[in-house]
């Protein structure tokens, strides 16, 4: 990690830069693939699956028999762990339901709002170097609670044309309706446009590499909604003398192992703490199966020492991290001042891994600074809210003149007339 001691505020944007690919070059390549999928459909999906995943597949849909076979292969203890996590995720997201309220804004004018699930949603689940079966729970459970009628899952096959058993078990557990062995850009294209047995959906959810993220943003321009713009995973840690260096190192590594383009940031008030964390990083790195990936991520990660707590908070709000861990004596007080973050983890005993798997909150979160304007996935992500209004005879007599006046001022005569005719009918 690069170390900075009380850096000048003018240098903060440079210090906090994310490691990103050349977006222009990436977008061109992704657009060419999407265009071919849009025009050729299933044959293009087959072509790119063979090209990128190294496997020839003719039947992309996963059968019930395959799901049952996969379920038998999942360790019983893992199944039990997933069921506990699913229960917590269910409980937290179900609590986000809101009661229908009818409001009389003016005598005789009643308005209300009704939540309706998006009918068809697509879930993208990465399955390459790390099959993210936990993401199936994070996306499938709120989709089911929201009342989405069709939940379509796409995930890449291995070189034998199979999907990781834990992904299939999780999909069965949460009630996914269709599963396809399609990954990468071709999966996003299939969900956005429809291809063969893959239905066109109304909104696509899920993380992925930079190619997948570029594909999601391109299809969102005119074809389908997406959950949020996102990129490589990231974590920031705010720490003081009360923090445990070993815990901090483990949290930094938990994000660094996601991928070489992940980023971790430590902001603290002690150079001694940075040194202790670096010692722990070196010790813990040797125990990781994904050590080489984590080392690459750490090469563009930073540790920043600031003596002023307000400046520490200001830097975090400028960075707007996907995940923020606050390991400080007054963590609740500090948390109240954080306005830009995807998900916040409080105190020494709240690892970011808790949110990734089983505490109940969602781990699909805005990265690359998008936490300034986007929320993480929640129940609202899977619903639309339709407004209703009912105006009685008395209501139109009270509100009608207001509408007439405003419509006339905007020179929209037909709008005014729609009210005037009703008022005249009541005389």
Rounded-to-10 torsion of CA 307, 313, 314, 315:
80
Q: How far is CA 414 from the centre of its chain?
A: 44
- pLDDT, position 23: 66
The tokens describing 355, both together, are 């949110």
pLDDT digits (tens, 9 = 90+) for 236-252: 999 999 999 999 999 99
Counting every residue written for the chain, the total comes to 427
Cα separation, 329 vs 343, in Å, equals 19
Cα separation, 207 vs 399, in Å, equals 48
- Is residue 348 within 8 A of residue 249, CB to CB? The reply is no
Q: How buried is 92 (Cβ within 10 angstroms: 0-12 exposed, 13-18 middle, 19+ buried)?
A: middle
Q: How buried is 266 (Cβ within 10 angstroms: 0-12 exposed, 13-18 middle, 19+ buried)?
A: buried
Cα separation, 401 vs 106, in Å, equals 13
pLDDT digits (tens, 9 = 90+) for 321-366: 999 999 999 999 999 999 999 999 999 999 999 999 999 999 999 9
State the DSSP string of 245-313: HHHHHHHHHHHHTT-TT-EEEEEES-HHHHHHHHHHHHHHHTT-TTHHHHHHHHHT-EEEE-S-HHHHH
- pLDDT, position 427: 84
Mean of pLDDT over the chain = 95
- pLDDT, position 22: 62
Cα separation, 89 vs 252, in Å, equals 24
Mean pLDDT of 174-179: 98
Cα separation, 215 vs 204, in Å, equals 11
The tokens describing 125, both together, are 């689940």
Residue 411 in 3-state DSSP? coil
Rounded-to-10 torsion of CA 154, 155, 158, 162:
-50
Helix (H) or strand (E) holding 124: strand 120-124
- pLDDT, position 209: 83
Ramachandran region, residue 3 (left: φ > 0; alpha: ψ -120 to 50; beta: rest): beta
- pLDDT, position 235: 97
Name 388's bridge partners: 112
Percent of the chain having pLDDT more than 70?
98
Residue 134 in 3-state DSSP? helix
Helix (H) or strand (E) holding 384: strand 383-391
Backbone angles phi, psi at 226, to 5 degrees: -130, 165
Q: How many CB atoms lie within 10 A of CB 279?
A: 13
Integer-rounded Cα Rg, in Å, for the chain is 25
Question: In 3D, which of 18, 28, 45, 388 has the Cα closest to residue 230?
Answer: 18
pLDDT digits (tens, 9 = 90+) for 71-126: 999 999 999 999 999 999 999 999 999 999 999 999 999 999 999 999 999 999 99
- pLDDT, position 229: 83
H helical segments located in 147-239? 165-174, 184-193, 210-219
Buried b / exposed e over 13-32, threshold 16 CB at 10 Å, is eeebeebeeeeeebbeebee
- Is residue 340 within 8 A of residue 360, CB to CB? The reply is no
pLDDT-based confidence at 259, cuts 50/70/90?
confident
pTM: 0.94
Cα separation, 79 vs 305, in Å, equals 43
Cα separation, 95 vs 89, in Å, equals 10
- Is residue 239 within 8 A of residue 248, CB to CB? The reply is yes
| Helix, strand and coil percent figures for the chain, each rounded to 5 | 50, 20, 35
Q: Specify the DSSP class assigned to residue 195.
A: B
* First-to-last C-alpha distance (Å) of the chain: 79
Helix (H) or strand (E) holding 42: helix 42-53
Cα separation, 11 vs 2, in Å, equals 14
Helix (H) or strand (E) holding 248: helix 245-256
Name 267's bridge partners: 238, 304
Residues marked as catalytic: 322-323
- pLDDT, position 208: 85
């Amino acid at each position: 990690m690069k170390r900075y001691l009380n850096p000048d505020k003018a240098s903060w944007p440079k210090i906090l830069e994310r490691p990103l690919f050349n977006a222009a070059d990436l977008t061109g390549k992704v657009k060419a693939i999407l265009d071919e999928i849009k025009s050729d459909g299933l044959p293009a999906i087959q072509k790119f699956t063979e090209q990128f995943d190294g496997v020839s597949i003719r039947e992309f849909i996963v059968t019930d028999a395959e799901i049952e076979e996969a379920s038998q292969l999942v360790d019983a203890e893992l199944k039990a762990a997933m069921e506990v996590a699913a229960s917590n995720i269910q409980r937290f997201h179900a609590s986000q339901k809101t009661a229908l309220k009818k409001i009389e804004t003016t005598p005789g004018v009643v308005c209300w709002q009704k939540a309706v699930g998006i009918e068809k949603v697509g879930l993208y689940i990465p399955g390459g170097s790390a099959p993210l079966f936990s993401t199936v729970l994070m996306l499938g459970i709120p989709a089911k609670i929201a009342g989405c009628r069709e939940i379509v899952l796409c995930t890449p096959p291995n070189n034998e044309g199979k999907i990781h058993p834990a992904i299939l078990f999780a999909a069965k557990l949460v009630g996914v309706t269709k599963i396809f062995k399609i990954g990468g850009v071709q999966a996003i294209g299939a969900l956005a446009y429809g291809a063969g047995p893959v239905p066109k959906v109304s909104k696509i959810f899920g993380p992925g590499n930079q190619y997948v993220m570029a594909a999601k943003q391109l299809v969102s321009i005119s074809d389908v909604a997406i959950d949020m713009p996102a990129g490589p995973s990231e974590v920031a840690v705010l720490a003081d003398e009360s923090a445990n260096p070993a815990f901090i190192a483990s949290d930094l590594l938990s994000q660094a192992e996601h991928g070489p383009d992940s980023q971790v940031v430590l902001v603290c008030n002690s150079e001694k703490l940075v040194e202790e964390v670096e010692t722990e990083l070196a010790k813990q790195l040797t125990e990781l199966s994904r050590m080489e990936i984590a080392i690459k991520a750490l090469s563009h990660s930073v540790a920043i020492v600031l003596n002023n707590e307000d400046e520490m908070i200001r830097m975090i709000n400028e960075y707007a991290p996907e995940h923020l861990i606050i390991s400080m004596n007054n963590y609740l007080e500090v948390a109240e001042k954080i306005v830009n973050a995807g998900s916040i983890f409080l105190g020494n005993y709240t690892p970011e891994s808790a949110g990734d798997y089983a505490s109940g909150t969602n781990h699909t979160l805005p990265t690359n600074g998008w936490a300034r304007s986007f929320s993480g996935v929640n129940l609202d992500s899977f619903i639309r809210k339709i407004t209703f209004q009912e105006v009685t005879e008395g209501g139109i007599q009270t509100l009608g003149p207001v509408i007439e006046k405003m419509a006339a001022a905007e020179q929209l005569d037909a709008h005014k007339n729609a009210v005037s005719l009703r008022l005249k009918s009541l005389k």
